[in-house]
Amino acid sequence: MLLAFDVGNTTIAVGLFRGRKLVKSWKIKTDNDKTADEYGAVLLDLIRIAGLAAGKVTGAIISSVVPPLTSVIEDVCRTYFATTASVVGPGLKTGMPILYENPLEVGADRITASVAAFEKYGGPLIVLDFGTATTFDAVSAKGEYLGGAIAPGIRISAEALYLKTARLPRIEIRKPKRAIGRTTVSSMQSGLYFGYIGLVTKTIEEIRKELGQDARVIATGGFGGQIASELTEIQAYEPDLVLEGLRIIHERNRDGRD
């Protein structure tokens, strides 16, 4: 079985694949202070509770946007699963040409999600990842990664209002009943929710002008399901897109040892 790790700024998504099937996935809170032993203990418990066998793991792959944790997760794989993890980055074949001015600047999760989306839907396409930041990634009809846009995630925006103002509270992010809020909380929810939909809609529109109006839009990430249901511009929501991309990249780099 293959262990796939998507190490993000807020959570670490972990997927366990048997062949091409995602057998189980988990979300672990990202904590830079945790040791490999702590992460390993948590993961072994999760696998055991799911009724799966850690000893069946024969390969691992990591996508990380938190450099200090990359080596920690590599240690987890070596110590607890007796396997050397591949890390998405220079030297690992993705099958997707990167046309960024400096390819090293592109987050591994952006490339991985784009690989999975192109494999499933073809191109041209726009991949939206609603994570800590919201990213928009453009892929050509030929399967080339062209670049995209990065915006603050909606939770970051909500937290900024709370931290940078004297009287605005921390709020739950959800769709308000009406755009005209009659309380501070409902006013903030209106501005955040509808304003964010406007940000997403306009960015898709501008990227489509350059990429082509026939470009499909595929969404992923924690907040993506809720936003996808609001926008006809988004054709599909794929919650495990990055994990699936990791499986695909792992298959493209297998040498038969696992």
**Residue 176 neighbours by CB distance under 10 Å:** 19
CB 28 within 8 A of CB 12: yes
* Residue 109 annotated in active site: yes
Which residue out of 109, 137, 214, 258 is catalytically annotated?
Answer: 109
Task: Return d(Cα 60, Cα 208) in angstroms, integer.
Answer: 36
Domains of the chain: 2-87 (3.30.420.40), 103-242 (3.30.420.40)
Residue spans of alpha helices (H) in the chain: 36-49, 67-81, 108-121, 154-164, 184-211, 224-228, 241-252
C-alpha distances in angstroms, 246 versus 140, 150, 233? 20, 21, 26
Task: Give me the pLDDT at residue 254, please.
Answer: 84
From first to last of its 258 residues, what are the pLDDT tens digits of the chain?
Answer: 999 999 999 999 999 999 999 999 999 999 999 999 999 999 999 999 999 999 999 999 999 999 999 999 999 999 999 999 999 998 899 999 999 999 999 999 999 999 999 999 999 999 999 988 999 999 999 999 999 999 999 999 999 999 999 999 999 988 999 999 999 999 999 999 999 999 999 999 999 999 988 999 999 998 888 888 889 999 999 999 999 999 999 999 985 444
C-alpha distances in angstroms, 132 versus 6, 15, 42, 113? 13, 19, 23, 15
CB 217 within 8 A of CB 234: yes
Q: What is the DSSP letter of 84?
A: P
46 CB contacts (<8 Å, ≥6 apart)?
Answer: 14, 26
Task: Give me the pLDDT at residue 257, please.
Answer: 43
198 CB contacts (<8 Å, ≥6 apart)?
Answer: none
C-alpha distances in angstroms, 245 versus 6, 117, 152, 167? 10, 8, 23, 43
Q: How far is CA 70 from the centre of its chain?
A: 16
233 CB contacts (<8 Å, ≥6 apart)?
Answer: 200, 201, 204, 205, 217
The helix-helix angle for 184-211 and 154-164 (nearest 10°) equals 140
C-alpha distances in angstroms, 181 versus 133, 162, 185, 186? 26, 17, 8, 5
Please choose, from the candidates 7, 221, 231, 1, the residue with its C-alpha nearest in 3D space to the C-alpha of residue 117.
221
Task: Return d(Cα 238, Cα 225) in angstroms, integer.
Answer: 8
Task: Give me the pLDDT at residue 256, please.
Answer: 44
Task: Return d(Cα 255, Cα 56) in angstroms, integer.
Answer: 18
Provide the token pair at 254: 């297998």
